[in-house]
Amino acid sequence: MPLSEKAILCACEDVSVHDVEGAIAHGYADIESLKRYTGLGTGPCQGKSCEVGAMRICAGRNAVPPAAQVPFRARPPLAPTTIAAYAGLPPEVTGARHPAGGLRPTWGKGAHPLQPHAALPERVDVVIIGGGIMGLALAWNLAGLRAGRVLVLERGYLCEGASGRNGGGVRAQWTTPTLIELAKESIAFMARFAQELGINVWLRRGGYLFLAHDDETLRRIEYGAELQKRHGLSTRVITPGEASEIVPQLDPSKFVAASWNPDDGVVFPWPFLWGYADGARRRGAQVETFTRATGIEVSEGRVRAVHTDRGRVAADRVVVAAGAWSPTVARLAGVQLPNVPYRHEIVSSEPLKPFLGPLVTMLGTGLYFSQSMRGEIVGGMGDPEEDPGLNQTSSLRFLARYGRALADLMPQLGAVKLLRQWAGCYDVTPDHSPVLGETPGVAGLLQMSGFVGHGFMMAPAVARRMAEWMGGAPDEIFERYNVRRFAEGRLIQETFIIG
Amino acid sequence: MPRIFLDGDAIEAQLEDSVAAALLRAGVTTFTRSIKYHRPRGPFCFAGSCGQCLMRIDGVPSLPACRVQAAEGMRCVRQNGPLGVENDLFRAADFLFPEGLDHHHLLVRSRLLGRVALEVARRLAGLGELPGEARSAVRGELRTVKLAIVGGGPAGLSAARMAAAGTLLIERERRVGGAPLLFGDTINADAGRAEVLLQAECVGLYANDTSLPGNGLLAVRHRDRLSAVIADRVIVATGGVSQPLPFPGVDRPGVYAARGLLALSARVGVKLAVVGEGAEAQRCAAALSRRGYEIAIVPGVPRRALGNPVKAVDTASGERIRCDAVAIAIPPAPLHELASSVGAQAHFDGAGFPVETDADGRTSVPWLFAAGTVARKDAARSGGTAGSAACR
């Protein structure tokens, strides 16, 4: 068998010049999208041998202007480094925290160099602010219902926000009936996503294993399992011994019981967004990247238009679907949302041969990890000392905490090397439940936010129902999850939050 | 002489050999199979940067064979070739999909076939098997310094000589000197008042978020140990990284970075086809020729490399040059990642992404400086300037 004549550009991930040209032709010419769409630079060398070659192709074809000829965001570690090494970092690294960093915008003030030059329409029926999974899925659904002209505004590249930064976990194990039903429908949709939207999201149903480290948490998972059974899920509470049969590398002395649902799983997040974006466009919706909403015009209690850095677009309905940026966007209309952004960090290991079926999570510490379709261990961990704020920078502190927790629960991972860390923002509401529906006082301003790190796995169902509700179909969740509930004291507490 | 084992077979190494050098000496050129098409792969950069020579060594997956010193009894196992790396049957993926395999749109029409594809892809994914043994945390230490200089090449050493007391110079190799050592050039190895930490690699640079004072937080790896260094100022003088050129066959065993071959204790045959033009190609060719190689310069980008390992290249003009190996000699690209990961601006200059600096060597991050190749500046001058400015 002779070797083929591929001109390999990224030897780690077997990406060829032909693949890069294909991505550019598809509209993914900016270096961050090019990296995600082709996979170049995501292997063990992290782009040291390919990003120059990739940019040479982009620049040679004038695919991006000189101002946008920048490297993709470099992610520590700069050389693969073991979990055991991170676990051994001195205690000062994880001690008292002094806030540092903050949000590093991919572009400063002024228009992004990759902003399209074409004029935006003067009027549309619906403007969706935020081109994440929620906004794009809503656009696809609205366009399918022929709900008029739909325009999605995304300030960066597709996948720049939390929808492109999560670990891809999808599960129906929740402790509120609505979320269970939304997740069930969404996961069923993911299983046929490729046929509906024409791109693979690689849903792998390896299950979710929630570990309870103490009796109080055990009672929580028992309550959850009962509720989930009533909703037709096959969740059951199992012993540490049974959990060790599912994941033999776990140290069973670190937990007292586990909640196990074999039907949950993980997906590959990025194609989800590309699929919805392409699908929405095919149905006639407009998705504009690198375009920022700068104002929301309100008069006589109604929304009238959205101002952008490409001009004004009149619309009777504006949807706030900006994830952790939703409070910032809502303020453009003078609306205060109770949502608060919190950074969550995440890291990917070197690719290993498949050994880990489920996504494993420890409810007490917020540690979670799973093995991606590419073989990487992708995981994160919440930090009780994290300050609120929009922050997408990475920290050494996170790797030290994650390394310790992971090496403690699964000592065999100690010699596994970490490759790449990044961060995204959760959009956290006071009761950990979403904010949906009309905005009191501003007719036509619709909320679709507050998903506390799990919007990704709910989007297909939420977007379908939102589109139908916007078309006039009654749906009680848009009343029950209205932002008024916080003022009225009708909180809907969800307790199965990870990270 | 240490004896190592490759897939169970004994191989004699020389004292100074890395695992990669020992294997090449023994005529082994296929070190692994590539992740998607199972193409044969061997070492390229010999600097731990390219990820083409990863191997399971003493139970630890995916270690760069070029950075691991050969030691008596070492067990090396090639990865990602379940039926043997030399004759891996999965290489059919490369043959059957000559134009490439678009995994995004593979079998999207049928749910059933999609599930089959998922199962197959899942089984083929990944490189190494899980480590054989548990490894517990290796305790690192914490240091606080005024100035940390990353990289002990000409730029970093110049910076160190101008720097005040309380400076730490972090060098990845066993000795300072950097790239000139490859060419046998004389260097000034004086690091002034700086403390020099050898065989230490800075794997992360962060804005300091600990409660201790200092702007930068560095993660510095010394063997298995990771230490934290807090510094008021940081100078990045990380130099450059060897680049391949994307022509058909460049990824095959037998195509090496010219600078990598200069760092290698073993020789890879006699006749070398050196791909490249200009000063870098001339300089590498001269140094390689001093190492005993016969050199044939290949101008421009070759049409293809042939053979496994590569034994010939077709030039742009259609001429076939036969050789024992190919050396790519284009200028190294600035190793900007450490600086750019904390937000320092870098822009494409046609051959890489040099970190942008002002006249003092300061990047767009106020406490961070860059000097030498990483900033595409003269090493000695920019190093000295940054060293002085960082201590003001």
**Nearest Cβ partner of A49 from B36, B50, B217?**
B50
Q: How far is CA A283 from CA A410, B215, B272, in A?
A: 47, 50, 56
Q: What pLDDT does residue B31 have?
A: 98
A293-319 confidence digits (pLDDT tens): 999 999 999 999 999 999 999 999 999
DSSP annotation of B174 reads S
Q: At what angle do helices B379-390 and B154-162 cross, to 10 degrees?
A: 40
Q: What number of helices (H) and strands (E) belong to chain A?
A: 15, 22
The per-residue b/e assignment along B333-361, b for 16 or more CB within 10 angstroms, e otherwise, is: bbbbbbbbbbbbbbbbeebbbbbbbeeeb
Query: What are B198's two structure tokens?
Result: 């050898």
Which of B51, B224, B250 comes nearest A45 by C-beta? B51
In this model, does residue A98 exceed pLDDT 80? no
Instruction: Assess whether the region B3-124 and the region B255-328 belong to the same CATH fold.
Output: no
For residues B132-145, average pLDDT = 94
Three-class SS of A218-281? HHHHHHHHHHHHHCCCCCEEECHHHHHHHCCCCCHHHCCEEEEECCCEECCHHHHHHHHHHHHH
Tokens of A133: 């999974």
Asked if residue B90 lies in contact with residue A1, where contact means CB atoms within 8 angstroms, the answer is: no
pLDDT score recorded for residue B71: 98
The overall average pLDDT reported for chain A is 95
Nearest residue of chain A to residue B140 (CA atoms): A89
Residue carrying the six token digits 């407009």: A286
Take residue B278 and report the two structure tokens written for it.
């200009």
Fold of A8-74: Arc Repressor Mutant, subunit A (1.10.10)
Closest residue in chain B to residue A8, using alpha carbons only: B246
Summarize the confidence of residues B49-77 as an average pLDDT.
Answer: 97
CA torsion sign for A455, A184, A176, A247 is: negative
* Contact of A18 with B100, CB cutoff 8 Å: yes
CATH number, domain B142-240+336-390: 3.50.50.60
Domain ranges of chain B: 3-124, 142-240+336-390, 255-328
B126 vs B121: CA distance, rounded Å: 10
Tell me if chain B has a CB within 8 Å of the CB of A81.
yes
Hey, of A83, A159, A396, which one would you mutate to test binding to chain B, going by the most B CBs within 10 A of its CB? A396
Strand order from edge to edge, sheet including B294-298: B255-257, B325-328, B271-275, B294-298
Distance between B113 CA and the closest CA of chain A, angstroms: 11
Distance from CA of B147 to the nearest CA of A (A): 19
Instruction: For residue B139, list chain A residues with Cβ-Cβ distance below 8 A.
Output: 88, 90
B223 pLDDT band, cuts 50/70/90, is confident
Query: What average pLDDT does range A260-266 have in this prediction?
Result: 95
- Domain boundaries defined on chain A: 8-74, 75-96+115-499
Overall pTM > 0.90: yes
CA distance A358 to A348: 16
* Residue A119 forms contact with B (CB below 8 Å): no
Token digits of residue A158: 């597709």
Q: Which amino acid type is present at position B202?
A: C
Strands B167-170 and B142-150: parallel
- Going by C-alpha positions, the residue among A17, A16, A3, A6 that lies closest to residue B95 is A3
The 8-class DSSP code of residue B362 comes to: B
Contact residues, chain A, for B129 at CB < 8 Å: 352-353, 355
Tokens of A67: 């101002």
The separation between the first and the last C-alpha atoms of chain B, rounded to the nearest angstrom, is: 51
Query: Reduced to 3 states, what is the DSSP secondary structure of residue A388?
Result: strand
Listed in sequence order, the residues at least 6 apart from B69 whose beta carbon sits closer than 8 Å to its beta carbon are B17, B18, B19
State the CATH class of domain B3-124: alpha beta
Q: What is the rounded average pLDDT of the residues A247-266?
A: 96
At residue A106, does pLDDT exceed 70?
Answer: no
Residues 321-350 of B with CB under 8 A from A: 333, 335-338, 340-341, 343, 345-348, 350
Instruction: Name the DSSP letter for residue B355.
Output: B
pLDDT of residue A225 exceeding 60: yes
Q: How confident is the model at residue A498 (pLDDT cuts 50, 70, 90)?
A: confident
Stretch A226-253: mean pLDDT: 96
Residues 32 to 51 of A: which have CB under 8 A from any B CB? 37, 43-49, 51
With an 8 Å Cβ cutoff, is B138 touching chain A? yes
A352 closest CB neighbour out of B41, B128, B352: B128
Q: Does residue A38 have a pLDDT over 70? A: yes
At residue B67, the pLDDT reads 96
Beta bridge mates, B275: B298, B328
For residue B167, what pLDDT is reported? 98
**pLDDT tens track for A59-95:** 999 889 999 999 999 999 999 999 999 999 999 999 9
**Separation in Å, CA of A102 to nearest CA in chain B:** 10
CATH architecture of B255-328: 3-Layer(bba) Sandwich (3.50)
Check the CA dihedral A50-A51-A52-A57 and report its sign.
Answer: positive
Phi/psi for B206 (5° steps) reads -135, 155
Pick from A10, A12, A40, A385 the residue to mutate for testing the B interface (most B CBs within 10 Å).
Answer: A12
Edge-to-edge order in the sheet of strand B75-77: B9-12, B3-6, B75-77, B54-57, B60-64
pLDDT (tens digit per residue) in A144-178: 999 999 999 999 999 999 999 999 999 999 999 99
Nearest CB to A84: which of B103, B135, B345? B135
Residues of B in contact with A204 (CB under 8 A): 118, 122
- At A183-216, the pLDDT tens digits run 999 999 999 999 999 999 999 999 999 999 999 9
Under DSSP, is residue B321 helix (H, G, I), strand (E, B) or coil? strand
Here the tokens at position A225 are 């399992």
- In angstroms, the separation between the Cα of residue B248 and the nearest Cα of chain A is 4
Q: Measured between CB atoms, does B227 come within 8 Å of chain A? A: yes
B21: Cβ contacts below 8 Å, ≥ 6 apart: B13, B14, B66, B70, B264, B265, B266
What mean pLDDT do residues B178-186 have?
A: 96
Instruction: Write b or e for each residue in A437-457: b if 16 or more Cβ atoms lie within 10 A of its Cβ, otherwise e.
Output: bbbeebebbbbbbbbbbbbbb
SS3 category, A204 = strand
pLDDT category at A101 given cuts 50, 70, 90 is low
DSSP B97: -
Would you state the CATH architecture of domain A75-96+115-499? 3-Layer(bba) Sandwich (3.50)
Query: How high is the pLDDT of residue A497?
Result: 79
The mean pLDDT of chain B is: 96
**Residue in A22, A27, A55 with CA at minimum distance from that of residue A41:** A55
**CA–CA dist B198, B19 (Å, integer):** 21
Our CA-based measurement puts residue A82 at a distance from the nearest CA of chain B, in whole angstroms, of: 8
Among residues B86, B90, B149, B166, the alpha carbon closest in space to that of B125 is found at B90
Q: How many helices (H) and strands (E) does chain B have?
A: 8, 23
pLDDT (mean) for A6-22 = 96
pLDDT in tens, B79-100: 999 888 988 888 889 999 998 9
Q: Which residues of A touch B212 (CB under 8 A)?
A: 92
* Planar angle of CA B338, A353, B84, nearest 5 degrees: 110
Choose the weakest-confidence range: A175-179, B294-298, B306-310: A175-179
Residues whose CB falls within 8 Å of the CB of residue A189, separated by 6 or more in sequence, listed in order:
A196, A460, A461
Chain B CB within 8 Å of residue A415 CB: yes
Residues of A in contact with B252 (CB under 8 A): 3
Residue B84 has what pLDDT?
Answer: 87
d(CA A317, CA A312): 14
From the CA of B180, how many Å to the nearest CA of chain A?
Answer: 21
| CB-based contact B142 A90, cutoff 8 Å | yes
Cβ of B224 within 8 Å of Cβ of A84? The answer is yes
pLDDT at A496: 81
pLDDT tens track for A323-381 = 999 999 999 999 999 999 999 999 999 999 999 999 999 998 999 999 999 999 999 99
Q: Given an 8 Å threshold on Cβ–Cβ distance, is B125 in contact with A93?
A: no
Backbone phi, psi, residue A182, to 5°: -60, -40
Q: What is the pLDDT of residue A107?
A: 56
B123 vs A3, A51, A354: nearest CB = A354
Residues paired with residue B321 on neighbouring β-strands, in sequence order: B313
B residues 78..107 contacting A (CB < 8 A)? 91-92, 94-95, 97-100, 102-107
Instruction: List the single best residue of B172, B203, B335 to mutate versus A (max A Cβ within 10 A).
Output: B203
